Amino acid sequence: MNKLYQEEYVRPGRIEVVCGSMFSGKTEELIRRLKRAKFARQRVEIYKPAIDTRYSDEEVVSHDSNSILSTPVDSPTSILLLASDADVVGIDEAQFFDNSLVDVCNELANRGKRVILAGLDMDFKGQPFGPMPALMAIAEDVTKVHAICVKCGSLAHISHRIVKGEKQVLLGEKDEYEPLCRECYNKAIENK
């Protein structure tokens, strides 16, 4: 094995963020990374916000119906207590947690754990969402994934809400949101 690669592989304690719009494959990528860690016989624990019950109460489920068992939690501090034996900690829908998630992830990484988070980087108005900007700032690795704009086929970067409402958190999927590129999003906002 290449020495540089070997050193990178065994280096403990890191934060990885997978972010993007809805329907971009964030959860799919999170599940892929976690399953690879399990295959490597690492101890993996997965958490999600207790409020996210769209597909399952106890599983992280992608829009493509891939899933992995998880533990729903009400607050990030619960993760610190529950993940003590884990080598790898996965967290889905990170944008729904409060800003204490940043300190929790730092603490986990400082304890030598690999922390992998997935979440929306922006809300439906194109504004930074929850703790995601701070998580991206402290992460060793940030992967931004894109959906395809349903209007023009370009890369989409925003989750446009197609139902009425101003509340930032509205759990939903294809009936409530559509992925749009910048140009199509701006046109949609002008036509409201």
The pLDDT value recorded for residue 85 is 93
Residue appearing with tokens 């690795």: 141
**Closest to 150 (Cα-Cα) out of 177, 170, 126, 186:** 177
Give the model confidence (pLDDT) of 104-123 as tens digits.
999 999 999 999 999 999 99
Q: Is the pLDDT of residue 78 over 80?
A: yes
- Among candidate residues 16, 29, 93, 178, the one labeled active-site is 93
DSSP string, 117-169: EEEESB-TTS-B-TTHHHHHHH-SEEEEE-EE-TTTSSEE-EEEE-S----S-
Residue 50 tokens read as 């207790």
Provide φ and ψ at 105, rounded to 5°.
-65, -40
Give the length of the chain: 192
The pLDDT mean for the chain works out to: 86
Give the model confidence (pLDDT) of 25-62 as tens digits.
998 999 999 999 999 999 999 999 887 655 555 555 55
Query: Cα–Cα distance between 144 and 96 in angstroms, integer?
Result: 18
**Closest to 119 (Cα-Cα) out of 5, 17, 50, 49:** 17
Q: Is the pLDDT of residue 64 over 70?
A: no
Q: What is the mean pLDDT of residues 79-83?
A: 93
Higher pLDDT, 42 or 164: 42
The pLDDT value recorded for residue 51 is 77
> Domains of the chain, with CATH numbers?
10-145 (3.40.50.300)
Output the CA angle 59-52-32, nearest 5 degrees.
Answer: 40
Q: Is the pLDDT of residue 79 over 70?
A: yes
Q: Mark whether 93 is an active-site residue.
A: yes
